[in-house]
Structure 1
Amino acid sequence: MTEGITFADRYQSVLVPVIFEPWARELIGRADIQAGDHILDLACGTGVVTREVAKRTPSFGSLTAVDHSAEMLRVARSLVDEPGLNVEWVEADAAALPLADNRFDLAFCQQALQFFPDKLAALRELRRVLKPGGRAVFCVQKGLDVNPMLKAQAEALEAHVGADAAAAVRAICSLADGAEIQQLFEQAGFRTIDVTSVTLDLTHPDAMVFATGAMGGMHTGDKLSGLADEAVDGAVEAFLAGLGNCLDGRCLHFPHVSNVVVATA
């Protein structure tokens, strides 16, 4: 791993353009943002949804971005350079938001609900800070069986790094059941909950670059740090070999399948 490059930097440089920017656009397209909306980006990571909202909907009322990771927020702040864009960046746990009741018209959360230690508490907190009738738009990864890139990644890490590293990938797919997600939103008091399976066809022009970066910039941190060079090479080569039909010469093309949730507070 390159000295001085953190997992948050690698996550931003490799994963965000390929995976999280397309998903941010998908979620924003389903959100029906209204002029003056006060918007929350929950578990914002490096701020991709916040940046896409600012780019696509300049008439919003306010933007607040929350994440528990100071490192992710550092990268997010460094990337927001639009003149006059005022984002409130908040370091906080999703289950204990230091935000007022009934503050937001709309909330986004992409690929994070599965990682919340207390999912129900986090959704109840979200409902508290949403106005009555406010909307929540989430995406949550579906299982390894329909996500071949993640399956290849988990198997490569299992074989070349260890069970804990592979478990970090499987955790990305740990809330794959749409019915379970619907029940969580219902228990948190949301209504008119729609859970839909959505597939995005994603691509990267250099599979080797993506493979190295993906395992060094996961949600849960760098899984290759500290390994000898030959061990890193073995893990990356196994990842590429496991991609099968998703690998087209040098290029990577893969389906990325998630449950998209649109719910009303």
Structure 2
Amino acid sequence: MGASTFAERYQSVLVPVIFEPWASELIRRAEPGNGEHILDLACGTGVVTRQIPKLISNPGRLVGVDHNGAMLDVARVLAKEAGLDAEWIEADAGALPFNENQFDVAFCQQALQFFPDRPAALLELHRVLKPGGRVACCVQQEIDLNPMLKAQAAALDAHVGENAGNAVRAICGLPDGDEIRRLFEDAGFQNVAVQSTTLTLQHPDARVFAQGAMGGMHTGDKLSGLADGAVERAVEAFLLGLGDCLNGSAMRFPHVSNVITARV
């Protein structure tokens, strides 16, 4: 698959480095079992859903939901290539098109901070889970704890504009674990646990990652429309901002999130 669209760049650059490791971490926490019906909420290009059959031999219904149709188009292609039987549904998190008590397990990675109505989304998530159902989510912590995002925001501030930098900072827009716990409890979830978790992530070519990341974040391609020289200056600023996370051409950086587990 060529990496020409936003969704394809997201898949080719960000998913292997960031979202696959977090998908594995969430699946490890929730321990889905054979025959269980699984919801991948705000699924993007479907990375969590694609990991499930690698870990359990006979999953039940697999459903990915996202509001972005282009992301789902990529998810469908990748699922077909993998021979994966999954449903891909375009819908908002605050209005899920399912009857109640449909799923045993739900996942949501790095998306709750972007939901326009977080309480409504969590009420919907609670509604569609079966009694005893469980959920595993992750939400980015403060930008000061995440040097890759901090370097990216600063580079965009300087070379694109503050609005572009703020779009990256929005990824860290729900860092407070106590606030997250209250959101889940207010939606009716039980046994809510919020744990600060750090994954050490890496890419062998930081320059390639920088070029792709600034063209494939949730926040869109912030380098589009810039002259080549301006793009190069933004990438150089990103690399400089990585500091000790840059080792020669490679990058290795901590990625710090709150991981939330809960039950219905």
Query: Scaled by the length of structure 2, what TM-score is found?
Result: 0.97
8 Å CA contact 2:3–2:12 kept in 1: the answer is no
The 2-side partners of 1:251 and 1:182 are apart by 36
Q: Any gaps of 5 or more consecutive residues in structure 1?
A: none
Q: 1:82-107, CA deviations, whole angstroms, 9 ceiling, x for partnerless residues?
A: 33x32111000000001111000000
Distance 2:141 2:249 in 1: 26
- Separation in 2, partners of 1:99, 1:225: 38
Match of 2:20 in 1: 21
Residue by residue over 1:130-153, the C-alpha shift from the partner in whole angstroms, topping out at 9 and shown as x without a partner, is 001100100000011110010000
Alpha-carbon distance in structure 2 between the residues aligned to 1:190 and 1:167: 31
Please report how far the alpha carbon of residue 24 of structure 1 lies from its aligned counterpart in structure 2 after TM superposition.
0.4
Structure 1 position 55, deviation (Å): 1.9
The count of aligned residue pairs is 262
Give RMSD over aligned pairs.
1.1
Q: TM-score, normalised by structure 1?
A: 0.97
Q: Is the 8 A contact 2:3 2:9 kept in 1?
A: no
Q: For 1:255, what is the secondary structure of its paired residue?
A: strand
Percent identity of the aligned residues?
A: 67
Q: Which residue of 1 aligns with 2:154?
A: 155
Report deviation, 1:4.
7.7
| Equivalent in the alignment of 1:34 | 33
Return the letter of the residue paired with 1:89. Answer: W
Indicate the residue corresponding to 1:82 in structure 2. 82
- 2:103 aligns with 104
Matches within 5 A, 1:171-250: 171-250=170-249
TM superposition shift of 1:257 = 0.4
SS of the residue corresponding to residue 30 of structure 1 reads: helix
CA distance in 2, matches of 1:160, 1:16: 25
Which residues of structure 2 form unaligned runs of 5+?
none
Instruction: State the 1:117 CA deviation.
Output: 0.2
Q: Runs of 4 or more off by more than 6 Å in structure 1?
A: none
Separation (CA, whole Å) in 1 of partners of 2:88 and 2:150: 34
In 2: Cα distance, 1:177 partner to 1:183 partner: 10
